């Protein structure tokens, strides 16, 4: 018995896990497959006859309109991503494959939910540039921020300061109280450092018990000295009762300024590191 494929095609479309949209030249939805309920939370009959632009995230409207123009001019777009607002108010990230069919005067798009993929990509980007324990900027991103800061300082003839901080006798905390306690101290230092700087500055964990602080657009060396004093005062505050017998260790901070102490990242880091060890020895 021959299979009537023409009659079977619509049923196959509704079996697809991806959602199929058919939209006319005025952006009105004329057909949508059953998978739309999983994607956007709407039943097909709730979407048919409405404008597809109504469900787009407002921040993505301009880019989406550009993609629509491209598709309707005869250039298929098979890798376009944007965001839609679900019926429950949630946001879904969608990967589109779309094509305009001139004879039928409709745009057919296949929509795939890539929200989990986008979140995973974002998490990987975050982990690549941040310390997993303290959530601070890591060494690689700090180098990028430092080089960018140096370029900006050179362009605008401004100053910046690099602070290199080391926790004194941190090994003793790990040896006596355990590494879990040491990790909590590191996180406390990280949060206190963040509380001492502006949003335009950068705090990073370089590894172990070493931290760096990049202070941009510095007005004077006096301002740097005052910032170091502030940081030391905040870091010397006692730990909370939840730390038990663990005492807040002291810290040593070395300073290097651009352009007085160097004009490139490696020189400034070396100078600040050397200054820190001089202070630690004394």
The Cα 264–Cα 258 span in angstroms is: 8
Choose among 250, 251, 252, 247: nearest CA to 181: 247
For residue 31, the cross-strand partners are 22
CA angle, 246 as apex, 245 and 252 as ends, to 5°? 150
Is 273 assigned a catalytic role?
Answer: no
Choose among 89, 88, 97, 93: nearest CA to 113: 93
The Cα 147–Cα 66 span in angstroms is: 35
The Cα 198–Cα 108 span in angstroms is: 49
Question: Which of 209, 229, 266, 273 is labelled catalytic?
Answer: 209
Show which residues are catalytic: 209
């Amino acid at each position: 018995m021959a299979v009537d494929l023409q009659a079977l095609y619509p049923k196959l479309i509704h079996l697809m896990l991806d959602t199929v949209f058919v939209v006319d030249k005025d952006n009105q939805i004329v057909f949508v497959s059953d998978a739309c309920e999983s994607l956007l939370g709407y039943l097909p009959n709730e979407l048919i006859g409405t404008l597809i632009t109504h469900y787009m995230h407002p921040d993505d409207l301009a880019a989406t309109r550009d993609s629509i123009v491209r598709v309707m001019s005869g250039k298929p777009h098979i890798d376009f991503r944007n965001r839609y607002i679900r019926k429950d108010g949630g946001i879904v990230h969608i990967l589109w494959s779309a094509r305009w069919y001139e004879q039928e005067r409709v745009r057919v798009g296949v929509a795939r939910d890539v929200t989990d993929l986008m979140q995973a990509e974002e998490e990987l980007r975050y982990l690549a540039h941040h310390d997993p324990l303290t959530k601070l900027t890591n060494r690689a991103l700090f180098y990028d921020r430092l080089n960018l800061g140096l370029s900006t300082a050179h362009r605008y003839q401004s100053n910046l300061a690099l602070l290199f901080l080391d926790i004194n006798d941190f090994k003793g905390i790990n040896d006596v109280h355990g590494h879990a306690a040491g990790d909590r101290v590191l996180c406390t230092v990280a949060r206190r450092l963040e509380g001492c700087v502006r949003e335009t500055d950068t705090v990073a964990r370089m590894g172990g018990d070493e931290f760096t602080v990049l202070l941009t657009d510095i007005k004077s060396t006096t301002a740097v000295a005052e910032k170091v004093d502030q940081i030391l005062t905040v870091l010397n505050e006692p730990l909370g009762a939840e730390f038990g017998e663990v005492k807040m260790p002291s810290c040593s901070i070395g300073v290097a300024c651009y352009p007085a102490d160097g004009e490139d990242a490696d020189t400034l880091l070396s100078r600040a590191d050397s200054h820190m060890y001089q202070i630690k020895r004394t």
